[in-house]
Amino acid sequence: MAEKAIITNWLFLTYFMLQILKVVCANVPAIIVFGDSSVDSGNNNQISTILKSNFEPYGRDFFGGNPTGRFSNGRIPTDFISQAFGLKPTVPAYLDPVYSIKDFATGVCFSLAGTGYDNATSDVLSVIPFWMELEYYKQYQNDLRNYLGVEQANGVISEALYLLSLGTNDFLENYYIIPDGRSSQFSIEQYQDFLVGIARDFVTELYYLGARKISLGGLPPMGCLPLERTTNIFFGSQCIEEYNTVALQFNGKLQALVESLNATLVGLRLVYSDPYEILYDMIQNPIFFGFVDANVACCGTGLFEMGYLCDQINPFTCSDANKYVFWDSFHPTEKTNAIIADHAVKNSLSQFLYW
């Protein structure tokens, strides 16, 4: 009898917790994503660019082993965040013709791999610029109102959680790479301020379009990405501390922007999400998180492969991506993405999980 009572109580508790979760998560009806390859769920598949990942071994640990265009062996952080809020386990790409407004009503991704705040960044790899993501979003709003009706659609728009994640490309694929480009026009501090100004304008326009719950993502420890460590081979392949310092400085400016906009735009709930510390901890203490290697990536030699250099016939690709912090030379594994997402939900995004 005692055992039966324990089982009954456990079942009741499980049911009760599920009901709580439904109530808690009901306040975020959709996840809407803007950014770069860190959160692109397949939009780049539909444009003419060399920056793609819709082929094996990308996606080998995704549902069905499908290479969806996500730059990972599986899911990306926004997929896990969507699931954590009681929504679907993946966020569909807006440009993917397989999906319709019915799919996008509870989550949609406008992110484009290779883009940045700066229009000049998108020109480097011939991708669609960041501002175009906002134009796609405006069309989405129209479609959503036609699908749900104006009142219900406006409710989704105001209660949805908006996630922004970009900026790394502006520095690593633009400022530090193009000799006669932005580095000849701006000091690094000036360039940071230039990008923060664009972020300010973007968030402000989202606000006036109806968004109220917005997460502004910071930069990772970009000097510790395998590709950057490879370029630092003559110095022992250590992290490039200059890049990490720039990331921390930029993140500080984003935090100040968050405070400023929250004080200026009535009703805005803007939060700063910090991927830097948790990812840096994984890189410095991989064993603690269950990894074996944080210096090189799983794909290929783990030093420089990304995109088409990371293909299924590369004999060096690892057999178990869960042992690695990074999947390719620029992007984390699914396991890393899950840890980053969990950290974000428990910290910066937790305020949106309310009764």
User: Residue 131 burial by CB count (10 A; 0-12/13-18/19+): exposed, middle or buried?
Assistant: middle
Pairing relationship of beta strands 107-109 and 161-165 according to DSSP bridges: unpaired
Selected catalytic residue, list 36, 37, 118, 170: 37
Of the candidates 60, 80, 71, the one whose C-alpha atom is nearest the C-alpha of residue 35 is 71
Active site residue 37: yes
Residues ≥6 apart with Cβ < 8 Å to 289? 281, 282, 325, 339
Selected catalytic residue, list 82, 111, 328, 343: 328
What is the rounded distance in angstroms from the CA atom of residue 25 to the CA atom of residue 45? 31
Q: Coil, strand, or helix at residue 215?
A: strand
Considering just the CA atoms, what is the radius of gyration of the chain in Å? 20
Tokens of 64: 């069905």
Q: Coil, strand, or helix at residue 79?
A: helix
Selected catalytic residue, list 118, 274, 331, 348: 331
Partnered with residue 210 across adjacent β-strands are: none
User: Half-sphere exposure of residue 275, counting CA atoms within 13 Å on the CB side?
Assistant: 27
Residues ≥6 apart with Cβ < 8 Å to 295? 226, 229, 237, 302
What is the rounded distance in angstroms from the CA atom of residue 230 to the CA atom of residue 310? 16
Active site residue 328: yes
Active site residue 331: yes
Of the candidates 47, 76, 86, the one whose C-alpha atom is nearest the C-alpha of residue 331 is 76
Q: What is the DSSP letter of 296?
A: S
What is the rounded distance in angstroms from the CA atom of residue 303 to the CA atom of residue 237? 10
- Catalytic residue numbers, as ranges: 37, 328, 331
